[in-house]
Amino acid sequence: MLVPASKVKSICTSAEIELVRASRKPDLNLHTPAQLKRLSLRARKLFEKWQDQGRAQARNKSQETGAGSVAERTHLKIQVFADALQSFEARLAKLEAAPSASAVKSKSKAKKKGRVAANRATRAQVRKDLAAKK
């Protein structure tokens, strides 16, 4: 469940908002794999931080009243960063699965170089044969 941007703005800091914004379209599609790895690392750290915070809150409340639950804002933050982390990891997996354009180009250049060298050798041999006949 994606938490609406208005809720994110009300519960997160500006740095956290930027991270969440980067995890949503169209910004998500603009990142390189290296950027996605860095962003997913930040999202994972924040997710774990708020998950630990929620556990501590539930533990404290349980000790006081006998039944513990996570505060609503903390629960929302956990959900926000879980969604961001999932978006980053899914996009990264998609990019790593598809061959990059540069890899395809380099393979075609290598084929072309091999073809050019072979053609040059053939043409040189033909010229040599023609020169010998003259």
Q: 2 versus 50: which is more confidently predicted? A: 50
- Cα(72)–Cα(61) distance, rounded to whole angstroms? 13
Q: Where are the domains of the chain?
A: 5-98, 99-134
pLDDT at position 114 is 67
- Cα(23)–Cα(97) distance, rounded to whole angstroms? 19
pLDDT tens-digit profile of 49-65? Answer: 999 998 988 888 888 87
Q: Which distant-in-sequence residues (6+ apart) come within 8 Å of 62 by Cβ?
A: 68
pLDDT tens-digit profile of 71-107? Answer: 888 889 999 999 999 999 999 999 888 776 566 666 6
CB 68 within 8 A of CB 60: yes
pLDDT at position 16 is 92
* 113 — pLDDT class (breaks 50, 70, 90): low
Q: Which of 22, 24, 16 is nearest to 49 (CA)?
A: 16
Contacts 24+ apart (CB under 8 A), 114-123: none
Q: Which of 10, 39, 13 is nearest to 24 (CA)?
A: 39
Query: In terms of pTM, does the model score above 0.75?
Result: no
**Where does residue 98 fall: left (phi above 0), alpha (psi -120 to 50 degrees), or beta otherwise?**
beta
